[in-house]
Amino acid sequence: MVDEVRIGVYICHCGKNIGGVISPKRVAEHVSRFPNVVVASDYLYMCSSPGQALIEEDIRKHNLNRVIVAACSPRMHEPTFQAAVARGGLNPYLLEMVNIREHATWVHEHEPEEAERKVIGLIRAAVERARHLYPLEVAKFPVVKSVLVIGGGIAGIRASLDLAKAGFKVYLVERKQSIGGRMAQLDKTFPTLDCSQCILTPMMVDVANHPNIELIAYSEVEEIDGRPGDFKVKIKMKPRYVDWDKCTGCGTCVEKCPWRVPSEFDEGLGYRKAIYFEFPQAIPRRPVIDPEHCLYLTKGICRVCERFCPVGAIMFEDKPRYVEVNVGAIIVATGYDLYDMTKLHEYGYGRYRNVITGMQLERLSSAGGPTGGRITTIEYERGRFKPGKTPKTVALILCAGSRDERHVRYCCRIGCMAALKHAYYIAHALPDSKIIICYTDIRAFGKGFEEFYQRIRSLPNVYFIRGRPMEIIENKDGSLTFDVYDSNINRMIRVTADLVVLETALVPPKGFEELRQKLKISCDPGGFGLELHPKLKPVETTVDGIYLAGFIQGPKDIPDTVAHAGAAAAAAASFLAKGYVESTPYLATVDEDICSGCALCVSVCPYDAISIVVKDGKRVAQVDSVKCKGCGACAGTCPSGAMQQHYFTDRQIMAEVAALAEGVVA
Amino acid sequence: MRYLLYLGCVIPTKQYAYEMSLRAVFPKFGIELEDFNEGCCGFPLKGVNKKAWIYMGARILARAYERGLPILTPCNGCNVSLFETKRFLEEDPSLRAEMLSLLRSEGLYHFGDVEILHPVEVFHDVIGVEKIKSMVVKPLKGLRIASHPGCHLIRPTNVPRPDNNVNPQKIDNIVRALGAEVGDYPDKGGCCGATMLPFHPESAIKVGAEKIVVMMDYGFDAVTTSCPYCMEMLDAKQDAAKTITGNMDLSLPVFYLTQLVGLALGMDPKELGIHLNLSPVDLVLEKLGVL
Amino acid sequence: MSGFEPKIVVFACNWCSYAGIDLAGTSRIEYPPNVSVVRVMCSSRVTPEMVLKALQRGADGVLITGCHPGDCHYITGNYNTLRRYYLLKRILNELGLGERVHLEWISASEGERFAKVAHEFVERIRKLGPLRIEEV
Amino acid sequence: MAELLSIAKLMSKVPEIKAIIGDQKPEYCYQCAKCTSGCTAAKVVPEYKPHEIVAAVKMGMIEEIMKSGILWACSECWKCSEYCPQDVAPVEVVLALKNIAVKMGYRPPEALVEMVKNAIETGYMQGIMEVMTNEFEFVDRDSLGLPKLERPPNMEQRRAALMRFFGVVMK
Ligand SMILES: Cc1cc2nc3c(=O)[nH]c(=O)nc-3n(C[C@H](O)[C@H](O)[C@H](O)COP(=O)(O)OP(=O)(O)OC[C@H]3O[C@@H](n4cnc5c(N)ncnc54)[C@H](O)[C@@H]3O)c2cc1C
Ligand SMILES: Cc1cc2nc3c(=O)[nH]c(=O)nc-3n(C[C@H](O)[C@H](O)[C@H](O)COP(=O)(O)OP(=O)(O)OC[C@H]3O[C@@H](n4cnc5c(N)ncnc54)[C@H](O)[C@@H]3O)c2cc1C
Ligand code: SF4
Ligand code: SF4
Ligand code: SF4
Ligand code: SF4
Ligand code: SF4
Ligand code: SF4
Ligand code: SF4
Ligand code: SF4
């Protein structure tokens, strides 16, 4: 540091966000007295063009060689001000940001004096740190122009098609036998009531036919390696026991298989065979054998499918296979699961046969469902579902498990509209029935939702009760009784219904936690994937090149899911289209004179970026700057201080820490 | 095992049958009971002054700690009250300090971590269902008996409860071991209404009556409970329930769990205080051939 | 001891904890102004010297925060932190300073929890009283 | 007819309630009425509606409720606290309100005052009773062969401590 350090400090008002709590002017006056501070100014919005211009001009005018911006979080505007500093002719890493909004004025609004003192303290620490900054360079790497999409629901389908059409190679991994996701299970879709399968199937076919899409069904992501722009993904293809290359999808095997199993697709109400397609319109149209139920694979008898297959595609000795793909970006579109309703003990799901979920009602109402579209009560004959009688009264209970501190805290964002739709199904199919909707609030905020709500409200046989039952009791005939207090009419109502439908809470799908950890992306308190910014970066994640699409980012209906998936595809496309990614500038670096070659750093580096080499007869550590991701673990471990991390050197951090610890005298 | 028999208020002033059957039955299993007359646990006073309630419970915990034995609380109310007191004392250091300062005048300085047990737990978890089964000499054959756990045996779940709120089965398991049939019925974990009795007597009795109606509807021959309040509502108030609800068919024998155990062990109904039960218990006794 | 306002230095990893602390701000969840945050890329960058430096130069307590185990942006960084924390804790305990340093996992969505942790830590240090330099 | 409520009277009582009940959250209540739907008391005393009581606490309109004496209808079955989706525990709110009512000078029902008096004076909330057998005979502890019921020890200290809490009620 031969040159004199000349620092400019800029304090942002952020409108009233900062300026309404402390006085940036006073702060500027105070910090202008700090050593090396050549100029200190305040401005209403530093991130605005005139704000940035101020920095650029000052660099030239005052010959600044360090810039400190005290404003919002560096996670928000660091790139903005780095660019400004660069335009002013300085290396962007000579900028230091001080977070006085998120870390001070927003959280100490009611202690303005303390807040101001803290702000001055933070800036002082930044000044101390800034003295030790030095210019850094950023390396560029080429990206691989292909994308992995995980999850083949409507979100994954839409994102895959968008990217494929834009010319990117897409690998679509779906863990079930077929793509389609939850939307394939729905009968109709609110608020327009289009037939779900009818609008979905053409898109599924497009996926199958698009030359840029490689559909890898019945598979899951096993391992992820590499870095943004160049991920290496190992995919596990579960054993299918059918040679999909030979198979023509004729379905003879499915027809002949003697063994029936409750169908996941029909939510346990219908049946599928041990060799099966997920549902009749499945894509790809290639069956798999369920090894847990197949008679041959469990008991060594049968082999009927093998006998009837005209092309000899059955292969009982199938093993998992692994493929590796190399992609530049990843889109996560793994959707949701229903919350386990047996946990909501008071409603008796799992104990009372006529308490069902909304998704089960979708299957009962579907022409392709287990009752051929007849809505009936639930009967079991020797453990097997069979359609019961026509219900006279059906009760729908909203927020079942949602908005509940003991279960799922957030709103499912679907249940209200789904309940209205379900009321329509029943009212339409059974005009003589009574439909009771027990709601807390009807949240009808989407396009066309209020109109839909009106339409359902106007049905004479739909009754809205503003109240939630506490407990449901099963009667001897299988019908159900509960009391519910209607706070609209201030009356307790005793409801006896033949069928109770729970509009269930919706949660991240099984296995997402493990997938998320493989991807190194964060999650929100509900377990969904965490977007980078709740307003402005709704599809980005904390990892560059990994994006969220659809329900997995948080509850969404189909229109929102599709819009979100489109945005994810666009974000991935723009990431790849640029052609390169920049490496982190915060790389580790060794001072070979000090390094003792102890290799402690080697053991902590998560990316194997450090090796010990012999230089001039001395063992020293060497960092591979392509592999290094800039965590600083090595620097934190190195006993001699030989290993340092750019922008986070011991000197820089120590200077900051010491200043903060000393504090400022008011 | 040796326990402090803490009877609370209702049992030693009124529900004598419970006390008799407790004192008669537990020694048969080698369980010794030491009298622990400490008066009211404070439960009914919680609504008048929470601290007074805590004081009364805290005092009992401190006294028990000195005696060095677990407390056996046959009353569901006492049981939950002491557990809640314990929880508040643990969670609120200033409350704990305040209570200790009040107790100093009695020479009490610690609450310790006193174990609190309910007879249902002693039967089910300490003695064990198998052991009980092995001691039955007069199985309660041919009887279908409903269990009424009572709210405070299973709620609130933010303090430990003797049985599970979601699916209370302990009493049923014990009764099954005695040779009777058991079964679930709607709102098994429902309330007897006792707490309302002093303020809204008719309404309270309606609550108890509703339970009896359901149990009769589900074909039970008798019902058993292990709480003196529940007993009062289901048994002593059964006649009143007839008048208030106008349902003259209300008629269901009610027993303390301890009484049923005693009967199955071949004990004399009088020794178990069964003649103090006001519901039509004779029906059952006849069936068992002990009348 | 009223009137004593402890000074706390917080180390926060960029990806989870710093984002979580930002979220406390975005959600306007207040916590005592005595805590100042030092940003590092990963909690494993924090050395014992940095912690000691803070205590030596006037901080009354140090809070180290990182991603929850399994969530580290750099795969295993926080495990290194944990190991180093135990070692550091042993030394600090010997110096009678163990109570003044604390490690806490804060995720990017745990703004509310950070505020709670900050509150509790400040109260804990307030009870311990000011740290006199001679102790170190 | 009815007098309109003035907003000048609105003054949330949540903080006072929270000071008594501990970790429950009356301010979270979103009026789903699940508590009332399953409330033991509400089924037989229609004027008793826990969700309304919780709402009144939030609004600060609790005097009417205290005046009406309706709080004493709760059967303390704890169902509401078990199943409330917002961890409100209306039963705890009701219990806290009762405490506040007594402090404010509302007299609890006579039966309860009697219990308090007994608890202080005799150690038990009710006197030792004679009971009837199913043969219509009157019996007592003695005739049933039960040991004599001793008073709890240290009655003096106990009374002194309790009087600190129950001064108002005993007046
Ligand atoms: C009862 C009910 C009724 C509804 N009705 C309507 C309606 O009428 N209108 C409307 O707009 N919305 C409706 N919805 C909402 C709609 O279902 C969702 O908006 C939509 O399905 C979300 O699509 P998705 O692709 O994000 O998720 P999903 O449909 O859940 O698709 C996710 C896919 O990812 C796969 N997957 C999961 N994990 C992995 C993994 N680890 N590896 C590989 N693949 C994986 C799954 O198998 C699945 O195929 C309803 C929801 C419910 C519960
Ligand atoms: C009172 C209020 C509070 C809100 N608070 C929040 C909140 O806290 N959080 C939140 O998430 N959302 C909030 N919103 C919603 C938020 O404002 C919108 O979601 C958002 O602004 C929409 O952005 P937009 O770009 O689509 O539209 P706009 O912000 O309206 O931008 C449209 C732009 O197009 C220009 N324009 C219009 N017509 C033409 C034309 N013919 N030719 C050229 N230019 C044209 C307009 O001048 C304008 O600059 C709030 C809305 C309101 C009304
Ligand atoms: S071998 Fe298995 S899959 Fe094939 S027909 Fe038999 S049961 Fe079905
Ligand atoms: S019978 Fe053979 S070709 Fe036809 S669907 Fe089955 S496996 Fe494929
Ligand atoms: S969308 Fe409706 S049903 Fe679902 S949680 Fe929200 S309010 Fe309840
Ligand atoms: S119209 Fe606006 S204010 Fe009214 S319910 Fe809808 S979103 Fe809320
Ligand atoms: S900074 Fe992290 S990634 Fe880079 S070499 Fe050091 S330990 Fe490895
Ligand atoms: S830990 Fe430090 S001294 Fe040891 S090899 Fe690595 S850089 Fe060299
Ligand atoms: S107290 Fe709980 S159950 Fe009652 S209305 Fe409020 S949120 Fe619903
Ligand atoms: S505890 Fe009281 S308020 Fe709650 S459900 Fe029972 S009777 Fe109702």
Q: Does B18 map to a domain?
A: yes
Nearest to A516 by CA among A151, A19, A167, A109: A151
Length of chain D in terms of residues written:
171
Distance CA A286, CA A418 (A): 32
Q: pLDDT above 90 covers what percent of chain D? A: 58
For residues B58 and D59, the model is more confident at B58
As separate numbers, helices (DSSP H) first and strands (DSSP E) second, chain A gives 18, 36
Shared domain for B56 and B90, answered yes or no, is yes
- For residue C135, pLDDT beyond 80: no
Domain residue spans of chain C: 8-128
CB neighbours (10 Å) of residue A489?
10
Q: What residues contact residue B290 under an 8 Å CB cut-off, 6+ apart?
A: B138, B263, B269
Phi first, then psi: give them for residue B146, nearest 5 degrees. Answer: -90, 145
A153 CB near a chain D CB, below 8 Å?
no
> Is the distance from the beta carbon of residue D118 to the nearest atom of ligand 10 less than 6 Å?
no
Architecture of domain A588-646: 2-Layer Sandwich (3.30)
* Residue whose CA lies nearest to ligand 3 atom number 3: A275
- For residue C2, pLDDT beyond 70: no
CB neighbours (10 Å) of residue D132?
14
**Chain segment D1-24, per-residue pLDDT in tens:** 467 777 877 888 888 888 887 778
Q: pLDDT above 70 covers what percent of chain A? A: 99
| Least confident segment among A95-99, A180-184, A572-576, D158-162 | D158-162
Contact D109, D70 (CB under 8 A): no
Ligand 5 centroid distance, CA of A469 (Å): 15
pLDDT at A245: 96
Nearest to B222 by CA among B279, B129, B145, B116: B145
Strand, coil or helix: what is A514? helix
Q: What residues contact residue A401 under an 8 Å CB cut-off, 6+ apart?
A: A339, A341, A343, A344, A407, A408, A502, A504, A505
- Candidates A252, A285, A308, A316: which one to mutate for ligand 4, based on the most atoms within 8 Å of Cβ? A252
- For residue A1, pLDDT beyond 50: no
Distance CA B114, CA B59 (A): 12
Distance CA C72, CA C78 (A): 6
Shared domain for B171 and B202, answered yes or no, is yes
Pick C8-128's CATH classification: 3.65.10.10, 3.40.50.720, 3.40.50.960, 2.30.40.10: 3.40.50.960
pLDDT at B83: 97
Distance of CA B140 to the CA centre of its chain: 21
Note whether A345 contacts B187, CB cutoff 8 Å. Answer: no
Which residues of B are less than 8 Å from D16 in CB distance?
A: none
**Which of 396-425 (A) contact D at CB < 8 A?**
399, 403-407
Per-residue buried b or exposed e for A490-510, using 16+ beta carbons within 10 Å of the residue's own CB: eebbebebbbbbbbbbbbbbe
Residues pairing with A645 in the sheet: A588
Mean pLDDT for all residues in chain B: 95
Give residue A655's identity as a one-letter amino acid code.
A
Classify residue B105 by its DSSP letter: G
Cis bond before residue A191 (omega within 30° of 0): yes
Instruction: Give chain B's domain count.
Output: 2
pLDDT at A87: 96
Shared domain for B140 and B260, answered yes or no, is yes
Distance CA A490, CA B289 (A): 53
Strands (E) located in B136-279: 145-147, 222-225, 254-256
Give residue A206's identity as a one-letter amino acid code.
D
> Is the distance from the beta carbon of residue A358 to the nearest atom of ligand 1 less than 6 Å?
yes
pLDDT at A582: 87
As separate numbers, helices (DSSP H) first and strands (DSSP E) second, chain D gives 9, 2
**Chain segment D65-123, per-residue pLDDT in tens:** 999 999 999 999 999 999 999 999 999 999 999 999 998 889 888 989 999 899 989 99
Nearest to B255 by CA among B143, B95, B103: B143
Shared domain for B162 and B225, answered yes or no, is yes
How do strand A491-497 and strand A480-486 relate by DSSP bridges?
antiparallel
Cα–Cα distance list, A499 to A486, B221, D44, D129 (Å): 20, 31, 27, 51
Chains that touch B (3 or more CB pairs under 8 A): A, D
pLDDT at D9: 76
| Rounded average pLDDT over C54-76 | 91
Shared domain for B278 and B199, answered yes or no, is yes
Nearest to B194 by CA among B225, B254, B150, B145: B150
Q: What is the ipTM of this complex?
A: 0.86
Domain residue spans of chain D: 2-103, 110-166
Lookup result for tokens 């998320």:
A516
Note whether C80 contacts A654, CB cutoff 8 Å. Answer: no
D115 CB near a chain B CB, below 8 Å?
yes
Shared domain for B174 and B258, answered yes or no, is yes
pLDDT at A55: 97
Classify residue B104 by its DSSP letter: G
Which residues of D are less than 8 Å from A440 in CB distance?
A: 30-32
pLDDT band at A249 (very low <50, low <70, confident <90, very high): very high
Shared domain for B234 and B92, answered yes or no, is no
Which residues of chain B register pLDDT less than 70? none
A245 CB near a chain D CB, below 8 Å?
no
Cα–Cα distance list, B212 to A378, B235, B249, B273 (Å): 30, 10, 10, 22
**Can you say whether residue A490 is alpha, beta or left, with left for phi > 0 and alpha for psi between -120 and 50 degrees?**
left
Nearest to D23 by CA among C104, B92, B165, C24: B92
Task: Provide the CATH topology of domain A2-136.
Answer: Rossmann fold (3.40.50)
CATH 3.40.50 in chain A is located at 2-136
Q: Which of A471, A479, A480, A482 has the highest number of chain B CBs within 10 A, making it the mutation to test binding with B?
A: A471
pLDDT at C1: 39
Pick A239-319's CATH classification: 3.40.1350, 3.20.20, 3.30.1540, 3.30.70: 3.30.70
Q: Which residues line ligand 4 (CB under 6 A)?
A: A 242, 247-253, 287, 309, 311, 313-314
Give residue B221's identity as a one-letter amino acid code.
D
pLDDT at A29: 96
Segment holding C52, helix H or strand E:
helix C48-56
> Is the distance from the beta carbon of residue A162 to the nearest atom of ligand 1 less than 6 Å?
no
CATH class of the domain comprising D2-103: mainly alpha
pLDDT at D170: 56
Shared domain for B90 and B23, answered yes or no, is yes
- Candidates A177, A254, A257: which one to mutate for ligand 3, based on the most atoms within 8 Å of Cβ? A257
pLDDT at A484: 98
Contact A567, A536 (CB under 8 A): no
Shared domain for B211 and B275, answered yes or no, is yes
Contact A484, D37 (CB under 8 A): yes
Nearest to C74 by CA among D20, A645, D22: A645
Domain of B187, CATH number, reads 3.40.50.11810
> The domain containing residue B270 runs over which residues?
136-288
Distance CA A523, CA A511 (A): 13
Distance CA A573, CA A327 (A): 12
Note whether D75 contacts B55, CB cutoff 8 Å. Answer: no
Architecture of domain A337-507: 3-Layer(bba) Sandwich (3.50)
CATH class of the domain comprising A140-238+320-335+520-582: alpha beta
Q: Does B128 map to a domain?
A: no
Contact B13, D126 (CB under 8 A): yes
Contact B258, B119 (CB under 8 A): yes
For residues A475 and A543, the model is more confident at A475
